[in-house]
């Protein structure tokens, strides 16, 4: 890594129980492997299973001292596309910022504001194919982070996979395989 001073901020959206906080930790771990200083943190409410939740990650080439929340992220990661109704997923996103959405293959995205770059990835299908979580509720947080490695040049797929292997409590190989597949199946969508 040799890019001078870089600081990027990422916001994750999902639902309670989907592993949103773990996704932010997977990113922090991967970025740490890349040599970044990192901080990942949840917006910790008392939200229960199913309720919309957010988590954050801050990556910096210098030590991170800032302790306030993230209001103007560079990246937004959406683990559950049903949140596109009702949650302002783009709130504060920097102009030209990146949005990665877990979205079913074969369906087209609804109309979205221009000025951002959108990426989709059918993380739900990939997680189901790799038997992560249950059939009804596949756990998508590792697959989506494979996609993030595709979207964000600062994190190599290798670091992300190592981080996933480290953080996945069970089925480590399946989670890594899912993330690898997700990397390949992430595509930019022009709106």
Partner 1 sequence: MRKVMTGNYASAYGAKVSRAEVIAAYPITPQTSIVEKLAEFVAAGEMKAKFIPVESEHSAMAACVSASIAGARTYTATSSHGLTLMHEVLMWASGARLPIVMTNVSRAMAPPWSVWADHMDSVAQRDTGWMQFFCESNQEVLDTIIMAYKICESEHVMLPAMIIEDAFILSHTSEPVDVPDQDMVDSFLPEYDPAVKLEVGNPMGFGSLVRPDQYMEFRYKAMKAMESARERIASVEDEFRRTFGRSYGGLLDEYRCEDAEVVLIVAGSAAGTTREVVDSMRDRGIRVGLARLRALRPFPQEELRALANRVRGIAVLDRSYTFGAAGAFYTETCGSLYPQAKRPFVKNYIAGLGGRDITPGIIEGIFSDMIDATDRGEVAGPEWVDVAGLERRWR
Residues that bind partner 1 (CB under 8 A): 21, 24-25, 28-29, 32, 37-42, 44, 46, 64-69
| 59 vs 126 by CB, closer to partner 1 | 59
Q: Least CB distance from residue 28 to partner 1, whole Å?
A: 5
Q: Which two tokens mark 152? A: 């964000």
Least Å distance between CB 35 and partner 1? 11
Closer to partner 1 at the Cβ: 68 or 108? 68
Rounded-to-integer distance, Cα 29 and Cα 128, Å: 24
DSSP collapsed to 3 states, 90-142:
CCCCCCCCEEEEECCCCCCCCCCCCCCEEEEECHHHHHHHCCCECCCCECCHH
* Closer Cβ to partner 1, 25 or 122, answer by number: 25
- Nearest distance in Å: CB 107, partner 1: 34
Q: How far apart (Å, rounded) are the C-alpha atoms in residues 145 and 23?
A: 7
Which is closer to partner 1, CB of 38 or CB of 140? 38
């Amino acid at each position: 890594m040799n890019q001078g001073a870089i600081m990027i901020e990422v916001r994750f959206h999902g639902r309670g129980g989907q592993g949103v906080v773990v996704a932010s930790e997977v990113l922090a771990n991967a970025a740490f492997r890349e040599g970044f200083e990192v901080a990942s943190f949840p917006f910790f409410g008392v939200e229960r299973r199913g309720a919309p939740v957010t988590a954050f990650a801050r990556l910096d080439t210098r030590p991170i001292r800032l302790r306030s929340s993230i209001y103007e992220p560079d990246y937004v990661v959406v683990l559950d596309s049903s949140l596109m109704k009702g949650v302002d997923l783009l709130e504060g996103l920097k102009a030209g910022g990146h949005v990665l959405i877990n979205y079913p293959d074969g369906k087209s995205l609804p109309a979205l504001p221009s000025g951002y770059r959108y990426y989709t990835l059918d993380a739900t299908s990939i997680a189901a194919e790799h038997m992560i979580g249950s059939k009804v509720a596949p756990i998508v947080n590792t697959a989506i982070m494979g996609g993030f490695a595709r979207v964000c040049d600062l994190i190599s797929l290798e670091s992300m996979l190592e981080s996933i292997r480290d953080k996945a409590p069970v089925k480590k190989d399946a989670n890594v395989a899912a993330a690898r597949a997700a990397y390949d199946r992430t595509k930019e969508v022009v709106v």
